[in-house]
Amino acid sequence: MEVHQVARAIVAWLAVVVGLLAASLLTADGEAAFFRIGPHADLVLFGARVDTLRRYGVVVLYTLCSGAMRTLHHQLVTPWILQNVQHAGPKSAYARLHGHEVVTIDVAYQWLDWLAYTVILVTQVDLFAIEMTSDLCISYFLTTRYLAVAGD
């Protein structure tokens, strides 16, 4: 199976998921906290109440930056580790010099990001949408850069 076929199967699955989420949104109780947008008295992240536009703006800024860092991590750092540290072939001097540092940062980042990401994503649907939009923008930018590299 070709990668574009797998990607299209994923799109079909996403359509099912979005349909289920839309149905859930249409039938949700008006008091369901997850489907609210913006600051609210009951929006609490890591013990801090996010009930003003200023606090909400800080959360949105964090979410945008976090999404960008996550995408850079997944599309640049992780492939570098796979191709330069974990690959069975000979290692470059750069990989031998920086391999432990990058892998240590990778592991610490993954755990801390997982915690913050999980808390933010399950808190409110607009924060999920911001994370996804940030990820899509950075992914599109990186893919455009990769595809522009001469050598084909």
Are 113 and 59 part of one and the same domain?
A: yes
Q: What is the DSSP letter of 44?
A: E
Stretch 27-41: mean pLDDT: 74
Report the predicted TM-score, pTM, of the whole model to 2 decimal places.
0.71
Are 61 and 79 part of one and the same domain?
A: yes
Q: Which residues, other chains included, contact 143 with Cβ-Cβ below 8 Å and sequence gap of 6+?
A: none
Are 40 and 68 part of one and the same domain?
A: yes
Q: Determine contact, residues 123/48, Cβ cutoff 8 Å.
A: no
What range does the domain containing 118 cover?
Answer: 35-148
Are 94 and 41 part of one and the same domain?
A: yes
Stretch 28-47: mean pLDDT: 78
Stretch 113-136: mean pLDDT: 86
Are 90 and 143 part of one and the same domain?
A: yes
Number of domains in the chain: 2
Closest CA to 106 of 135, 82, 128: 82
Are 7 and 76 part of one and the same domain?
A: no
Are 46 and 83 part of one and the same domain?
A: yes
Are 26 and 79 part of one and the same domain?
A: no
What is the number of other CB atoms lying within 10 angstroms of the CB of residue 140?
11
Are 58 and 101 part of one and the same domain?
A: yes
Q: Determine contact, residues 21/28, Cβ cutoff 8 Å.
A: no
Closest CA to 126 of 28, 42, 59: 59
Q: What percent of the chain has pLDDT over 70?
A: 92
Are 63 and 136 part of one and the same domain?
A: yes
Whether 33 shows a pLDDT value over 70: the answer reads: no
Whether 30 shows a pLDDT value over 90: the answer reads: no
Taken in order 6, 11, 14, 15, the sign of the CA dihedral is negative
Q: Determine contact, residues 74/138, Cβ cutoff 8 Å.
A: no
Are 16 and 45 part of one and the same domain?
A: no
